[in-house]
Amino acid sequence: MIELSHIEKRFGDAVILKDISLSFPEGSVSALVGPSGGGKSTLLRCINLLEQPTAGSVRIGAESVDFEPGRKAPWQSIQKVRSQTGMVFQNFQLFPHRTAIENVMEGLLVVQKWSREKARARAMELLTKVGMEHKADAWPANLSGGQQQRVAIARALAPSPKVLLCDEPTSALDPELSAEVVDVLGTLAREGTTMVMATHDLRLASQVANLVVFLEAGQVVEIGSAEQVFRNPVHERTRQFVSSINAAQTFSA
């Protein structure tokens, strides 16, 4: 269970997130959608505290952190929350000097202090899960974008996080390669992996997510099932956004 209570995020005088309270149940897949600059990625990064909220509280499972303006949250509490999340970034961020399997092993060896044999077995298990076992010894430069993102997903899953966070996981990929990533995330969703993703890809959101949150100007405009938000939105602004994105994705395809 993820609980965000009255989250506010400011950069100087600019208010990026305004009093956001949301709950994401364990085993659910949630998509944050909305226009660029609406706060999707910032909210996602506030969940794992890569961005620390100015005010509000973040809870994942039994661990929580409270934030107040002008007061630093305890580092130990931040680490306890952050350690329960895995992050998949838009641009993969694989280590170029490590092979695919070494990228997946790295955190297990350096952070978790696993033995090399145990880490390699776990990494191969995850590469198999994402369909990349045949590229275990390949360098990132020799992998397609879709293959790199699948390795990145395996790396994020390596320490068995409670929550997988995905920041625009398909936006750097063409439609054919993004389909590979959608398939992998769909499989994880069916297996009960708790996921929250920020995305412009409505195909990904509609196929994988069971909860959709539409954000604009740092506020929640609408929240509901993928079916409701994409097919029968309550708010006119949501309807306009969905229509514009559908048109753009149809044209680009």
Separation of alpha carbons 205 and 201, rounded Å: 6
pLDDT, mean over the chain: 91
Distance of CA 248 to the CA centre of its chain: 23
pLDDT of residue 158: 95
Angle value at C-alpha 219, between 225 and 204, nearest 5 degrees: 40
Q: How many CB atoms lie within 10 A of CB 123?
A: 27
Closest to 179 in 3D by CA, of 149, 157, 137, 151: 149
Buried b (16+ CB within 10 A) or exposed e, 208-242: bbebbbbbbebebbbbbebeebbeebeeeebeebb
CA-closest candidate to residue 59, choices 85, 37, 34, 36: 85
On whether the CB atoms of residues 19 and 7 are closer than 8 A, the answer is yes
DSSP state of 126: H
Which domains occur in the chain, in start order?
A: 2-84+163-252 (3.40.50.300), 95-160 (no CATH)
What's the rounded Cα separation, in Å, for the pair 4 and 6? 7
- Predicted local distance difference test score (pLDDT) of residue 249: 55
* Residue 196 confidence (pLDDT): 96
Q: What pLDDT is recorded for position 213?
A: 96
pLDDT digits (tens, 9 = 90+) for 144-185: 999 999 999 999 999 999 999 999 999 888 888 888 898 999
Nearest alpha-carbon partner for 26 in 66, 83, 73, 84: 84
Tell me the DSSP string of 173-210. Answer: S-HHHHHHHHHHHHHHHHTT--EEEE-S-HHHHHHH-S
In whole angstroms, give the CA distance from residue 140 to residue 143: 5
- The string of pLDDT tens digits covering residues 92-150 is 999 999 999 999 999 999 999 999 999 999 999 999 999 999 999 999 999 999 999 99
Please give the backbone phi and psi of residue 80, each rounded to the nearest 5 degrees, phi first: -65, -40
State what percent of residues in the chain have pLDDT above 90.
75
pLDDT for res 246: 64
By C-alpha distance, which of 13, 3, 7, 2 is closest to 215? 7
| 247 pLDDT more than 70 | no
253, pLDDT greater than 50: no
pLDDT digits (tens, 9 = 90+) for 188-206: 998 989 999 999 888 888 8
Distance CA 118, CA 104 (A): 12
